[in-house]
A and B are shown apart, each in its own frame.
Chain A
């Protein structure tokens, strides 16, 4: 693995920014050049949040061109759908199945796409899609707050980067008293993809 363009897609408040920070740091720790760019601003008040993360021997732009995204880590299915327009056809998506209704849906002005539509659109868009219910897994482990770390664990299984680098970077970024919870969350997500039990 010498280069990757990764899209992290989710909703403000889901911990996507921490996830993209961790991904960028993992790239650097693996000896690669690494850059990331988040779209913030008003989006933090429950809007869509997108981050681009790039690993490579030498990365120029922090922003990835449309159609050049090889991977997507999606925290929310609707945001995964939105993100597909940036993806390479040969790309891989890891998608959390827990949906969060935007106000346009909860107010009854729009319909959230049916699960079948989500699944078929994502599978048509790229060559590999791995769904997992990271939120349920996180609740089983002890807290819905570690959903993002479950997802990172799952995502880590796609790469040959040493597992210890991932764990190190994740644990560095969380309060020490939650270290065990986060370690368990990371392992559960990683196992789900490696064992195909997602």
Chain B
């Protein structure tokens, strides 16, 4: 038997391989991004994988592939599901010709998300099954089970992980590639099934209702839902990674672990509850299981003890268990050092050599209101810039800027958006500004990749996940074609050019203006370290270079004797020679390698 230590995301990719999946689509988002990367890297010969322009496009493409007879996988992070949902909801009515599984990677604890939404509700809203693995072995197995369920019940299947399942590594037994057709048959012309026009969709709705009842019956005997009997004084109903915490913190309790969290096996739960003295429902985030179980008329304890916010980690379970007399306190291990107060924080920063730095340097100086967006450049909201005043979701910046403008805001506003995010959902908002004639500056910060999630491709890159070459959709002509009259592209590493471009755009008041700041992501170009240096005798400790917020610019031990302020120095282990600090220094105290050699 072959064993491997796989992350949940790697195991999902392996599951796709073993389940005979042939098409995989998605848009990157933490903690889901590694699934398609792994599919392309390990199983690219068997599975076509692509980064689609956004989640909705990825879901429409998946629907088309599944209608055509290819087993298909879609991946998204939890908030991407909101974008994807419109497309998912029609596939609920149509069903599929071949298996279709949609993976949503939720983010309890908000390690890299704007909210903590619980995507189990989508299963209930859509009336389709939801599978939730607790570790990598189950992640692999449940993808295979999901494809089987999808084909058996003619339904899309939801599959949910959290950061802990997606990013933790556990041991997995590997299997072989399942059967999949080489060629697909001619497209099925079944209009009453696949055209969701009202008269036919009406006929499909009762089928959806019957299907979820059939699935609830299946859930009663499904091996996905299982009971491990222990002490009958305490019974716990749980799911996902939380089940692993429950086993650790309540080792003696009886536990019903639900691998399928929608629809619920009512009779199985009733039977379990009747055989234990007290039932706890322990679930991360919302009382999704709890409310349904209460509606069955079963008495349980849940959210009155276990908080709905943040991860529900073993520490929290332990504390609640002890406090309520469910486990004895002597098993708790006391922490050595409860508080490490006063340690300097290590917050994330724009990398040394980041092309976004010049834009936020000026926005911070000019102090205009900035509507921000999702990407590394969201770090522009932190010191030393503090130059971003709203941020909500992918593509929101341009729409919010439009709203600020039509509200009659007394200042000229700015939106900042990255290249991948612009393609994802910025384009319709910019077309809206043109059509509805609002004024404001959109800065498209084009670093040539989807940087924050691990440097994925997008329509503006000349490669794809599947192919080394691809036609690029160029941003400037696209913006002009939308009808934007004031458009300029500048080199992001030319600090003065960024300022000039910004001034010109801000002066334009006959509709929206666009400034494109172009400069490749430093993590992609990986320039070598270089010997920029500060001439300490010339440095006046004015602090201008510190306002670039570069991790390579550090406080020197030398001070300006008049002001007592510390001078600047450059950390040679971090500087990659982007040159911005040399450009902003008012006294020419910073030298690049050529000047130093002269």
Q: How far is the CA of A190 from the CA of B23 in the complex (A)?
A: 47
* A67 and B111 contacting across the interface, CB-CB below 8 Å: no
Kindly list the 8 A-B residue pairs having the minimum CB-CB distance in the complex, ordered from nearest. Answer: A41-B112, A110-B344, A41-B111, A106-B554, A45-B348, A67-B333, A62-B168, A102-B346
From A39, A64, A108, A125, contact of B555 by CB (8 A):
A108
Whether a CB of chain A sits under 8 angstroms from the CB of B335 is: yes
Q: List 13 A-B contacts (CB under 8 A).
A: A37-B169, A40-B30, A45-B376, A46-B349, A47-B348, A64-B314, A81-B343, A101-B554, A101-B571, A102-B345, A106-B571, A107-B546, A107-B555
Interface residues of A, Cβ cutoff 8 Å to B:
11-12, 21, 24-25, 28, 33-48, 59-68, 78-79, 81-82, 84-89, 101-113, 121, 125-126
| Chain B residue contacts of A113, Cβ below 8 A | 343-344
Instruction: Knowing A42-B348, A103-B549, A111-B344 are in contact, say whether A61-B244 is a contact too (CB < 8 A).
Output: yes
| Chain A residue contacts of B571, Cβ below 8 A | 101, 106
Whether a CB of chain A sits under 8 angstroms from the CB of B120 is: no
Q: How far is the CA of A36 from the CA of B171 in the complex (A)?
A: 10
Q: What secondary structure prevails in chain A residues at the interface with B?
A: mixed
Whether a CB of chain A sits under 8 angstroms from the CB of B582 is: no
| Chain B residue contacts of A85, Cβ below 8 A | 335-340
Q: How many chain-B residues does the 8 Å CB contact rule pick out?
A: 54
* A11 and B346 contacting across the interface, CB-CB below 8 Å: yes
Interface residues of B, Cβ cutoff 8 Å to A:
3, 5, 30-31, 111-112, 135, 163-164, 167-171, 241, 244-245, 247-249, 313-315, 318, 332-340, 343-351, 376, 379, 384, 452, 546, 549, 551, 553-555, 566, 571
Q: How far is the CA of A112 from the CA of B340 in the complex (A)?
A: 13
- Least CB distance from B65 to A in Å reads 30
* B170 and A62 contacting across the interface, CB-CB below 8 Å: yes
* A28 and B551 contacting across the interface, CB-CB below 8 Å: no
* A102 and B344 contacting across the interface, CB-CB below 8 Å: yes
| Chain B residue contacts of A102, Cβ below 8 A | 344-347
* A46 and B337 contacting across the interface, CB-CB below 8 Å: no
Instruction: Knowing A37-B168, A67-B335, A125-B336 are in contact, say whether A25-B345 is a contact too (CB < 8 A).
Output: no
From A28, A40, A45, contact of B349 by CB (8 A):
A45
Instruction: Knowing A40-B111, A125-B336 are in contact, say whether A63-B347 is a contact too (CB < 8 A).
Output: no
Residue of A nearest to B251 (CB): A60
* A106 and B336 contacting across the interface, CB-CB below 8 Å: no
* B315 and A65 contacting across the interface, CB-CB below 8 Å: yes
* B551 and A46 contacting across the interface, CB-CB below 8 Å: yes
Q: How far is the CA of A94 from the CA of B112 in the complex (A)?
A: 30
* A61 and B336 contacting across the interface, CB-CB below 8 Å: no
Q: How far is the CA of A47 from the CA of B111 in the complex (A)?
A: 12
| Chain B residue contacts of A79, Cβ below 8 A | 346
* B347 and A106 contacting across the interface, CB-CB below 8 Å: no
| Chain B residue contacts of A104, Cβ below 8 A | 344-347
| Chain B residue contacts of A44, Cβ below 8 A | 348
Q: How far is the CA of A81 from the CA of B346 in the complex (A)?
A: 13
* A126 and B30 contacting across the interface, CB-CB below 8 Å: no
* A103 and B337 contacting across the interface, CB-CB below 8 Å: no
* B241 and A62 contacting across the interface, CB-CB below 8 Å: yes
* A25 and B348 contacting across the interface, CB-CB below 8 Å: no
* B340 and A25 contacting across the interface, CB-CB below 8 Å: no
Most chain B CB atoms below 10 A, which of A25, A45, A82: A45
From B31, B171, B340, B551, contact of A84 by CB (8 A):
B340
Q: How far is the CA of A103 from the CA of B574 in the complex (A)?
A: 12
* A60 and B111 contacting across the interface, CB-CB below 8 Å: no
Residue of A nearest to B243 (CB): A60
| Chain A residue contacts of B343, Cβ below 8 A | 78, 81-82, 113
* A40 and B344 contacting across the interface, CB-CB below 8 Å: no
Q: How far is the CA of A111 from the CA of B358 in the complex (A)?
A: 28
From A39, A60, A110, contact of B248 by CB (8 A):
A60
Most chain A CB atoms below 10 A, which of B247, B313, B333: B333
* B5 and A47 contacting across the interface, CB-CB below 8 Å: no
Known: A62-B170, A104-B345, A108-B566. 18 other contacts (CB 8 A): A28-B171, A34-B171, A36-B168, A38-B168, A39-B111, A42-B348, A45-B376, A62-B169, A63-B313, A67-B334, A78-B346, A84-B336, A103-B349, A104-B347, A106-B555, A106-B571, A113-B344, A125-B337
Most chain A CB atoms below 10 A, which of B318, B334, B346: B346
| Chain A residue contacts of B3, Cβ below 8 A | 28
* A62 and B554 contacting across the interface, CB-CB below 8 Å: no
* A36 and B335 contacting across the interface, CB-CB below 8 Å: no
* A107 and B384 contacting across the interface, CB-CB below 8 Å: yes
| Chain B residue contacts of A110, Cβ below 8 A | 344-345
Instruction: Knowing A65-B314, A67-B335, A88-B336 are in contact, say whether A105-B168 is a contact too (CB < 8 A).
Output: no
Residue of B nearest to A43 (CB): B348
From A43, A48, A86, contact of B335 by CB (8 A):
A86
Q: How far is the CA of A79 from the CA of B30 in the complex (A)?
A: 24
Residue of A nearest to B352 (CB): A46
| Chain A residue contacts of B376, Cβ below 8 A | 45
| Chain B residue contacts of A36, Cβ below 8 A | 168-169
Residue of A nearest to B376 (CB): A45
* B336 and A42 contacting across the interface, CB-CB below 8 Å: no
- Least CB distance from B72 to A in Å reads 27
Most chain A CB atoms below 10 A, which of B135, B340, B571: B340
Q: How far is the CA of A104 from the CA of B342 in the complex (A)?
A: 12
- Least CB distance from B254 to A in Å reads 16
- Least CB distance from B523 to A in Å reads 9
From B318, B333, B350, B384, contact of A88 by CB (8 A):
B333
| Chain B residue contacts of A81, Cβ below 8 A | 340, 343
Q: How far is the CA of A190 from the CA of B452 in the complex (A)?
A: 36
Q: How far is the CA of A125 from the CA of B170 in the complex (A)?
A: 30
* B350 and A63 contacting across the interface, CB-CB below 8 Å: no
Q: How far is the CA of A85 from the CA of B337 in the complex (A)?
A: 5
* B169 and A61 contacting across the interface, CB-CB below 8 Å: no
Residue of A nearest to B346 (CB): A102
From B171, B314, B344, contact of A78 by CB (8 A):
B344
* B554 and A63 contacting across the interface, CB-CB below 8 Å: no
Q: How far is the CA of A32 from the CA of B553 in the complex (A)?
A: 46
Q: How far is the CA of A67 from the CA of B171 in the complex (A)?
A: 25
* A82 and B340 contacting across the interface, CB-CB below 8 Å: yes
Q: How far is the CA of A121 from the CA of B170 in the complex (A)?
A: 33
* A45 and B350 contacting across the interface, CB-CB below 8 Å: yes
From B169, B339, B340, B551, contact of A103 by CB (8 A):
B551
